[in-house]
Structure 1
Amino acid sequence: MNIAWKEIKKNKTKFIILGSIIFLVSFLTFIISGLSNGLSQDNAALIKDLPDGQFYMNADANETYNLSRIDESVQTTVLNEQKDAAALSIQMGFINDMDDKQYSIAFVTSTDSKSFESVGKGEVILDRSLEDEGIKVGDILTNNQFSGEFKVMGFVEQKKYSHAPVAFINMENYKEIYRVNEMQLIFVPGTEQAPVVTGLQSFSNKEFLNTIPSYSAEQMSLNMIIWFLVAISGMLFAIFFYMMNVQKIGLYGILKALGVKTSRLFGMMWYQMIFITVIALGLSVTLSQGFSLIAPQGMPFSLTLETTVQLSVVFLIIGFIGATLSGLQIKKVEPLQAIQQGEV
């Protein structure tokens, strides 16, 4: 690897340019990935934080939970047969504080369950983000469709749905607001294989998330950008090392004539790729993690260590593939012919 290191020192500018490009692409990828994860939490933390299980909705609802209505007799049967199961409903709405300021929220109600907050009549438990808006425990909130008032009993962390803070209310209050008697969904936690329920369609947690139009469209767009950037980085590696190899045809010919094996030449190129990539990724990981600390309050940004490691490994693999593909011409180099051509 001594030859590889000497070449890096001799051609500092070329390798610095490549490293800078990889740094910028990987840094942008980490930032977008953090935004994607943050938006995912902001859009569906209520569902993502639930234990693995199965969601059931009416089979005639066309995979749209707003159109689902669970027959009360079916609901009773499922809740009796399945331990820890819960019937629930989610509906967008609004509340007014004591100054008549209106907040958009997602009303959530459920039967007794460990998976959801238990709330008495006339009480409400809110997502913590509303505390930042000035709402406090003990405040009285109202809704134009509700004849009574809601008393704030507490706050919960990271409970969002469709980019709105969740408000857990009592089932009877929910039924009055929306003039309904049936629940929209049944959630059965800890079920690997969904038991068949006549008239109901089952979804895993991930499948249910994809039935939320805003969630699936948003995540698909951001993931396409992320993988497009990863593909660009692979192309940059391939192009850079291809141009470098073209310029070094004569050198490769001399080295082969001296008995240097093709595998060693590939090793030299891989060493350079790993050296540049590790430094670029180290800088981009450090800055992207630092960005999560200084990101503006309210910005949905979440870059986990797991995601960072996964993307770093992907970048290394893509860099390895790109460099290897560009180096296939090394195998074709004939020592005598390359020496006659001379080193460009």
Structure 2
Amino acid sequence: MNIAWKEIKKNKARFMILGSIIFLVSFLTFIISGLSNGLSQDNAAFIKDLPKGHFYMNADANETYNISKIDEQLADNILTDDHDAAALSIQMGFMNDSEDKQHSVAFVTSTESKLFESVQKGEVVLDRSLEEDGIKIGDILTNNQFSGEFKVKGFVDQKKYSHAPVAYINMENYKEIYRVNEMQLIFIPGQEDAKDFSGLQAFSNKEFLNTIPSYSAEQMSLNMIIWFLVVISGMLFAIFFYMMNVQKIGLYGILKAIGVKTISLFYMMWNQMLFITVIALGLSVALSQGFAKIAPSGMPFSLTVETSIQLSCIFLVIGFIGATLSGIQIKKVEPLQAIQQGEA
């Protein structure tokens, strides 16, 4: 460790450049990860907040929930056999406020269940994001396809679907708006294995998320960027330490000649990598967590401490691998040959 620290002090500029690059790459990774998690919540918080279970939709719907129709008799049989089950429907739509301003919403209705809000005819429970748009409890909202009016009964937190705030309405009102009688989905919580129902296709919570338009493509793109940045950081470590090792071939030869073991040279390199990475990651975590607190309320950004720790551990592992791969040449150094190269 003493040799490693002396080298860092001797070559401050080199190590500061590497540390700065690792800081920038890791900070960018944390920010994109926060955006990815935030968009995931904004896209599917309604589904992600449900307990583990299985969704069932019509097998003929080709995994497209909004065209699924479950036979009423089959739905009644399932709900009778399993009291925790619920039949529900989700459709995108809009509501007009008192000033005739349209607000995009995801209409949700369900049979009686503790998992979903229970509302009476002519009432609506909205995601709290609409409260920020000026809608208040007691306000009257309308829909062009509905003959009556909706009175705002209350608000719920973090209930988004396909980037739209959820609006819980009564089943009879839903049927009038969309001119349907059948429910789209059956949700049965607490199942380890999906049950087999004739004509229905089962989806776990995670699998059902991929039926939401844009969710899979959105998350895949952001996750690819995150992993590319992680791989790039590993390559930076490998290239940096490789160049450093090339310049120190003669020094390694002398150290080996006086009895320093190869593993000790690797320890020196690992200590340097750890020192740089810990400082860079510490700054990145602190700034990204600070950004999470000051980010605009309209920005879908969510970066938990657990996620930051997980990403930091990944960076440390990648840094260790990159530095180790670059140090393979240390093992091949022959003391006499290295000394004869004239590097000291």
Is the Cα–Cα contact under 8 Å of residues 162 and 213 in structure 2 kept in the other structure? no
- 1:82 alignment counterpart: 82
Q: For the residues of structure 2 that align with 1:112 and 1:335, how far apart are their CA atoms? A: 79
The one-letter code of the counterpart of 2:14 is K
5+ residue gaps, structure 2:
none
Match of 1:280 in 2: 280
What is aligned with 2:242? 242
SS of the counterpart of 2:29?
Answer: helix
Give me the whole-angstrom Cα distance separating, in 1, the residues matched to 2:34 and 2:238.
Answer: 27
Residue in 2 aligned with 1:136? 136
Q: How does 1:120-159 map to 2 (within 5 A)?
A: 120-159=120-159
How far off is 1:66 after superposition?
1.0
1:218-260 superposed Cα distances (whole Å, 9 cap, x missing partner): 0000000000000000000000000000000000000000000
- Cα distance in 1, alignment partners of residues 151 and 23 from structure 2: 51
Q: Deviations over 1:25-83 (max 9, x none)?
A: 00000000000000000000000010000000000100000110000011011111123
Aligned letter for 2:224?
M
> 1:155 & 1:231 partners in 2: Cα distance?
43
1:212 positional shift: 1.4
Could you tell me how far apart the structure 2 residues matched to 1:164 and 1:210 are? 17
Quick check: 1:197 aligned with 2:197?
A: yes
Cα distance between partner residues in 2 of 1:238 and 1:82 = 57
Aligned to 2:254: 254
Structure 1 segments of 4+ aligned residues over 3 angstroms from their partners? none
Q: Name which of structure 1's ranges 257-266 and 77-86 shifts more when overlaid on structure 2.
A: 77-86
Deviation of the 1:268 alpha carbon: 0.3
2:3 aligned counterpart, secondary structure: helix
SS of 1:116 mapped into structure 2 = coil
Amino acid at match of 1:108: V
Aligned residues: 344
Separation in 1 of the partners of 2:95 and 2:210?
A: 28
Over residues 101-130 of structure 1, what are the superposed CA-to-partner deviations in whole Å (9 max), with x where a residue is unaligned?
Answer: 110110000001111100110000000000
1:93 Cα deviation after fit: 0.3
Q: Identity of counterpart residues, as a percentage?
A: 83
1:274-320 CA-partner distances (Å, limit 9, x unpaired): 00000000000000000011111200000011111110000000000
Partner of 2:297: 297
**Equivalent residue for 2:44?**
44
- What is the DSSP-based 3-state SS (H/G/I as helix, E as strand, rest coil) of the residue aligned with 1:213? coil
Query: Contact between 2:34 and 2:303, CA under 8 Å: does it hold in 1?
Result: yes
Q: Which whole-Å CA distance do the structure 1 matches of 2:291 and 2:20 have between them?
A: 19
Q: Deviations over 1:86-112 (max 9, x none)?
A: 000000000000111110110000001
Q: What is the TM-score with the length of structure 1 in the denominator? A: 0.99
1:334 deviates by 0.2
**Alignment partner, residue 179 of structure 1:** 179
Which position in structure 1 is the counterpart of 2:322?
322
Unmatched segments (≥5 aa) in structure 1: none
Q: Distance in 2 between matches of 1:246 and 1:10?
A: 17
1:32 partnered with 2:27 = no
**Contact (CA 8 Å) 2:119, 2:170: kept in 1 or not?**
yes
CA offsets per residue over residues 104-160 of structure 1, 9 Å max, x none? 110000001111100110000000000000000000000010000000000000100
Distance in 2 between residues matched to 1:223 and 1:22, nearest whole Å:
19
Deviation at 1:211, TM superposition (A): 1.4
Q: TM-score, normalised by structure 2?
A: 0.99
> What corresponds to 1:227 in structure 2?
227
What displacement does 1:342 show?
1.9
> How far has the Cα of 1:213 moved from its partner?
2.6
CA distance in 1, matches of 2:58, 2:52: 20
Q: Which residue of 2 aligns with 1:12?
A: 12
1: CA distance between counterparts of 2:202 and 2:217? 21
Asked whether the 8 Å contact 2:257–2:335 carries over to 1, the reply is yes
Deviation at 1:262, TM superposition (A): 0.3
